[in-house]
Amino acid sequence: MTRSLFEEEHELFREQVRRFAEREVAPHFRDWEKAGITPKEFWRKAGEAGVLCTTIPTEYGGGGGSFLHACVVTEEMARIGASTGIPVHSDMVSPYLMHYGSESLKQHLLPRLCRGEIVASIGMTEPGTGSDLKSIRTSAVRDGDHWVISGQKVWITNGANCGVVLVACKTDPSAGAKGVSLIAVEAGTPGFSKGQPMDKIGLKAQDTAELFFDNVRVPIGNLVGEEGRGFVYLMQQLPQERLVIAVRSCAILEANLEATVKYVRERKVFGAPIAEFQNTKFKLAEAKAYITMLRSFVDDCITEHINGGITSEKAAMAKLTSTELLGRYLDEFLQLHGGYGYSNEYGIGRAWVDARVTRIAGGTSEVCKDIISRGL
């Protein structure tokens, strides 16, 4: 379908990102999956190519673009089926620093993030807390000119690779959500350690790890924004995170619909292409109808976001519908591939496995439904 939200500069940038993805990602991605991590060399190359931190102003080393540029990167990585952790690095951590960090913290961290010299992650989830951010137990106690952090984080994207992590911690355990703060902790700080990349069923190349904090001392200047405002900051940024998931999900559906149409036209069963069977036609027709509707809605959400910010309710709608349809139709596409769909020879199998987490990460489908229900 024709999309009106991108201008010529965005399409020129898309060509740049697509060339980078096909040159530096696609040929190596299977090796990264086997290794369970995206190499740091990739991050440096991505920084050199201008693929990272596209919305960060040029004075901090970023691309100086809009959320549309970020969408281009997300869509092009999704098109080749690559999960690299860029959205967390570029579209989550960098904006936190840009919007809430002190000038000295921005000057210290953002240029290195933009160049890919260090990889960024955000530590929210803990064992037993899941989506309940108010219940985190990682603590940060003020001691003179330092914060002393103790606790554990789990399911942290870019955790093994990270050079800096924004840690959601309790600076006032008695204040509930109002006691949560965000503090930047750099790799190499005494007491900060990482677990091995976790053995997940999907997203193999996107390293995920446990992080441990044993009386980690960091300067008070590493506080991101104001003390006790961390939960508010997280709630302000979560709509964009959910929208990024929707953007990626929609792009994955479009790419795999195209790949499946091509496959069924070539694959023959009982002497005829699979595409000629009514079941195949109906399955793909339904998929195209729903994906086209989804694309229209997601693009509308992108437009709303760049024109002033998407609401939590609408972002939850975008994430819920896109990820539920992603799981539904990738399963249909895999079925149309037959036995080949279950092998690693075709990208549909990897996409199908990778997609399962989208209904969990960034707020489960149930959490999204709860947010939507508040507006009924």
Place of tokens 């530096």: 24
Q: What is the structure's pLDDT at 333?
A: 98
Closest listed residue to residue 244, CA positions, set 61, 94, 46, 139? 94
CA neighbor of 25 nearest in space, from 33, 162, 356, 164: 33
**Residues 212-250 pLDDT 10s:** 999 999 999 999 999 999 999 999 999 999 999 999 999
Q: Are 97 and 135 in contact (CB under 8 A)?
A: no
Looking from the CA of 202 toward its CB, the CA atoms found within 13 Å total 17
Instruction: Classify strands 162-170 and 119-123 as parallel, antiparallel or unpaired.
Output: parallel
> What's the confidence (pLDDT) of residue 130?
67
Q: How far apart are CA 209 and CA 157, in angstroms?
A: 7
Res. 131: pLDDT tops 70:
no
Q: Which amino acid is at 289?
A: A
pLDDT digits (tens, 9 = 90+) for 243-257: 999 999 999 999 999
- pLDDT at 129 (0 to 100): 77
Distance in angstroms (rounded) separating the CA atoms of residues 86 and 77: 9
pLDDT tens for residues 350-365?
Answer: 999 999 999 999 999 9
Q: How large a percentage of the chain has pLDDT more than 90?
A: 93
State how far the alpha carbon of 289 is from the alpha carbons of 1, 57, 284, 295, in Å. 11, 39, 9, 10
Query: Per-residue pLDDT tens for 315-354?
Result: 999 999 999 999 999 999 999 999 999 988 789 999 999 9
Please pick, among 241, 266, 324, 332, the residue that the annotation labels catalytic. Answer: 241
Q: Is 24 a catalytic residue?
A: no
pLDDT of residue 119: 98
- For 134-180, what is each residue's pLDDT tens digit? 789 999 999 999 999 999 999 999 999 999 999 999 999 999 889 99
- Neighbouring-strand partners of residue 100: none
**Burial grade of 247 (CB within 10 A; 0-12, 13-18, 19 or more):** buried
Three-class SS state of 101: coil
Q: Mean pLDDT, the chain, as a whole number?
A: 95
Instruction: Measure the CA–CA gap between 360 and 366, rounded to whole angstroms.
Output: 9
Per residue in 30-41, pLDDT (tens digit) is: 999 999 999 999
CA distance linking residue 363 with residue 276, whole number of Å: 40
The owner of tokens 């990739």 is 42
Q: Count the helix, strand and coil residues of the chain and give each as a percent rounded to the nearest 5.
A: 55, 15, 30
Report in angstroms the alpha-carbon separations of 6 from 3, 20, 305.
7, 20, 14
**Residue range 365-373: mean pLDDT, rounded:** 97
